[in-house]
Chains A and B, each alone.
Chain A
Amino acid sequence: MSYEAEATPDKAPRTGRREAAVAALAGVAVVVVWEIICRIGLVSKLVLPAPSAIGIALWASVREIATGGPMRGNMLTTIYEILAGFGVGVALGFVLGVLIAEIASIRRVAMPYLIALNAAPKIALAPLLLVWFGFGMGSKIVMAALIAFFPLLINVITGLSSVEEAKLKLMRSLAASRAMTLVKVKLPDAMPMIFAGLKTAIVLAVVGAVVGEFVGAESGLGHVIKQSEFQLDVSQTFAVIVLLSIIGIAFFYAIEYLERRALFWTRPPR
């Protein structure tokens, strides 16, 4: 039972610190070896630029972002597409998930189509979305929304249908209406699943926005990657990939922070 406080074995803090040190050291070692391979000319810089070159390109990008250069506009475009796509996809996924989990007739009608749509490679729709929604942000937002939608939908349905039977029996014994049971028991109970879906959805929204930009865009970080590839500026490509990763990680941890605040009962304080 999730609410039964269980003694979590205290990991020895010393072990944790040692592991962190090993991880950091491994990362540094990889970067150093990578740098050496590039410096002695084992790999062309058109294939794999040195970490130092990527660092310089990244620094230039960050400065441009800070001073209001074109990179800032590109980054804001992509962030906007990610957030808008995430918002739309997640909102639709939540509403449809609740309807499907709660109303059997909707479930029977909608499920076959949703399973088929989920199985279809949605990335392959990107060229079509470009035709439908244009070169602007619209097509990217739709792409991001489309792939952020499914993980949330599925997790909402799973969360709502796996509520502990005893809790439902309690509500039945109080003659609670379905809406009351949904609001007071099922939705809170499904929150861990819903948050897990949100974390998957935000990462996929980043993928959706960038893929949308690859297919055709006037601005955005995906657009910058394509441009830098045309100019054989591979360091710049890597720098933008790092920026995109930072954006993805930041959004992911923002949701995780909200999760910790909202779902205090899943991690009993000791």
Chain B
Amino acid sequence: MLAAVDNATIGASQTSATGAFAIEVDGLAKAYRLGEATLVALDDVSFRVRDGEFVSLVGPSGCGKSTLLNIVAGLVSASAGEVRVRGSKMRGPSRSIGMMFQSPVLLPWRTNLDNVLLPIEVFRLDREHYMSKALALLRLVGLDAFAHRYPFELSGGMQQRVAICRMLLYDPAVLLMDEPFSALDEMSREFLNLELLRIWEEFRKTVMFVTHNIGEAVFLADRVVVMSARPGRVARIVPIDLPRPRSKATLESDAFFHQVTAIRKELDELRS
């Protein structure tokens, strides 16, 4: 379907599995010093994400799920334990990881195309070489007509689609998404969930997706990691056996409803 995308894929070798697990989180802990007191944000968190697997993280606010994501991204250092991405220990930000944040974080003085190409400039790679791939990605999310326009001309949901393209451009093996659609209205969020799944079916990247929306977590993921708060721990890992490819019909199915209800109960029990 997307010849241009495939042709320009440089790091294709990145996507081929070297081990069974793309992400290994081992005995991870994070403590912050607050004056005299110590705040334990994460306590002995361990789990593994298989290559090409889509994992959602849910939990009450303050359970450290964003902290966990930032540690996996190499943006925050752990107090104990370690994270291995594709077998190698994370010591800092890496090109094998693509990130998305709560806000699109597009640079307003750059066109949407130039925003997609930003990582290539940062990596000092050949812009021209990635141009066709950037355009193909914008076409994939239906924004090719806006390639030479500016972010302020787009809605919030469209801006997040540009951010998806920026994240995918350099073909990272692992995608880390930190509540990327939480600032959008319900309709846009649902649309972008479908878009994300469509793109994921095509590229089959390993995804860690943090959200506080249980429905979103279930709809997207192969497994949902349910976390408890203070200290942040893995309470349960729930496999989601909804058939793929998922669609709007999935959202209306009984199976979906049961999964969501089960996880909601789990979270309620954690709170009490």
Q: Are B109 and A265 neighbours in the complex by a CB distance under 8 Å?
A: yes
Contact with A along B107-136 (1 / 0, CB 8 A): 111000000001101110000000000000
Q: Are B93 and A172 neighbours in the complex by a CB distance under 8 Å?
A: yes
B122 contact from A176, A191, A268, Cβ within 8 A = A176
Distance to closest chain A CB from B189 (angstroms): 17
A3 contact from B92, B123, B152, Cβ within 8 A = B152
Segment touching B, from A75-83, A163-171, A221-229, A244-252: A163-171
Chain B CB count within 10 A is highest, among A170, A172, A265, A266, for A170
Q: A176 to B92, alpha carbons, bound, how many Å?
A: 11
Q: Are A3 and B93 neighbours in the complex by a CB distance under 8 Å?
A: no
* B256 touches A (CB below 8 Å): no
| B153, closest chain A residue (CB) | A5
A175 contact from B93, B106, B152, Cβ within 8 A = B93
Say which size band chain B's interface belongs to.
Answer: 20 to 34
Q: A172 to B102, alpha carbons, bound, how many Å?
A: 16
Q: A190 to B150, alpha carbons, bound, how many Å?
A: 18
Residues of B within 8 A of A191 (CB): 109
Q: A118 to B97, alpha carbons, bound, how many Å?
A: 46
Q: Are B152 and A5 neighbours in the complex by a CB distance under 8 Å?
A: yes
Q: Are A171 and B122 neighbours in the complex by a CB distance under 8 Å?
A: yes
* A180 touches B (CB below 8 Å): yes
| B124, closest chain A residue (CB) | A180
Distance to closest chain A CB from B57 (angstroms): 17
Distance to closest chain B CB from A181 (angstroms): 9
Q: Are A3 and B151 neighbours in the complex by a CB distance under 8 Å?
A: yes
* A2 touches B (CB below 8 Å): yes
Q: A188 to B152, alpha carbons, bound, how many Å?
A: 16
* A66 touches B (CB below 8 Å): no
Q: Are A188 and B109 neighbours in the complex by a CB distance under 8 Å?
A: yes
Q: Are B75 and A2 neighbours in the complex by a CB distance under 8 Å?
A: no
Residues of A within 8 A of B118 (CB): 174, 184
Q: A170 to B108, alpha carbons, bound, how many Å?
A: 14
Q: Are B97 and A173 neighbours in the complex by a CB distance under 8 Å?
A: yes
* A4 touches B (CB below 8 Å): yes
Q: Are B122 and A180 neighbours in the complex by a CB distance under 8 Å?
A: yes
Residues of B within 8 A of A4 (CB): 152, 156
Q: Are A170 and B109 neighbours in the complex by a CB distance under 8 Å?
A: no
Residues of B within 8 A of A173 (CB): 73, 75, 93, 97, 99
Given contacts A166-B102, A188-B107, list 10 more A-B pairs with CB under 8 A. A166-B101, A167-B105, A170-B101, A171-B122, A173-B99, A174-B118, A175-B92, A175-B95, A264-B109, A265-B108
30 CB < 8 A contacts A-B:
A1-B103, A2-B108, A3-B106, A3-B150, A3-B152, A4-B156, A5-B152, A5-B153, A166-B101, A166-B103, A166-B105, A169-B101, A169-B105, A170-B99, A170-B101, A170-B105, A173-B93, A173-B97, A173-B99, A174-B119, A175-B93, A184-B107, A184-B118, A188-B107, A188-B109, A191-B109, A264-B109, A265-B108, A265-B150, A268-B152
Residues on A close to B: CB < 8 A? 1-5, 164, 166-167, 169-176, 180, 184-185, 188, 191, 263-266, 268
